[in-house]
Amino acid sequence: MSAVLRDLPCFQRTFTLDELVDDVGRAVSLSARRPGSDVSEAVRQVLAEHADVTLPLSHAQWAGSPERYTRHLLHADPAGRFSVIALIWHPGHRTPVHGHRTWCAYLVLRGILREARFAWHAAQDCAVHTDTVTRHAGQTLAAPAGLADIHSLGNDSNEIAVSIHVYGVQGDQISTHVNHLVRGEMAG
C-alpha cells in the first residue's frame, strides 16, 4: 500500500536571518554578472523562499512605536551592495507616496499591509492613484529604481504588521537614498 503525498504532514522550514542574508547576497552577485537581469526580482524570489524567517529582534523592537512605523536595520552588506530592514507597522501607520532611488523588494512577514499604487504623470508633476491591493503574510513585491512603481504602504488592520525590506544601498543610506517622495493624488 502506497502513501498518498497529500495526506502526509507538511513541515515548513524556518530560516535564520543569516541564511536569508547569504541567499540575498548570492542573488545580488548573480544578477550583477548577468547583463539585463532584474536584481529586485531575484531578491523578491529569495524573500518568497524565506517567508518563514526568524528575526533577531528584542521585545521592544517587535513592539514598535504607536506614533509611526519603525525601521530596524537587520543587516548591512559589508560590500555596500544591499541592506535588510524590518519594518514594524502599528494600525494606521502609512508611508508617504514614493518611488525608489534604488531597487527594492519586500516580504510581508506578519499581518496585512495595504498598498496604494500610483502612476507617474509628468505633465501634472504628480502621481495619480490607480488601485489598492492587499498584501498578506508571505506575499512579496519587487520594484526597480525610478518612478515606474510608485506606492504607499500602510497598515489598515487592527493588528501589528511586520515586513522585511531589502534595498540596494548601504545601511547608513536607508533614510536618505531609498524613497523618492512624490506628490500623490487620488483619481477621480
From the annotation, which residues make up the binding site?
Answer: 98, 100, 151
Q: Residue 67 CB: number of other CB atoms within 10 A?
A: 9
| CATH level 3 topology of 14-185 | Jelly Rolls (2.60.120)
Query: If pLDDT is split at 50, 70 and 90, which confidence band does 174 have?
Result: confident
Report the predicted TM-score, pTM, of the whole model to 2 decimal places. Answer: 0.88
| Sign of the CA dihedral running 163, 169, 175, 180 | negative
Domain boundaries, the chain: 14-185
Written as nine digits, the cell of 141 is: 513585491
Residues 66, 69, 70, 74: is their CA dihedral positive or negative?
positive
Annotated binding site for Fe cation: 98, 100, 151
pLDDT tens, 60-103? 999 999 999 999 999 999 999 999 999 999 999 999 999 999 99
Q: In what order do the strands lie in the sheet with 146-154?
A: 179-181, 98-100, 146-154, 112-121, 126-136, 184-185
Question: What is the model's pLDDT at position 185?
Answer: 85
Among the listed residues 62, 56, 58, 49, the one whose alpha carbon sits nearest the alpha carbon of residue 20:
49
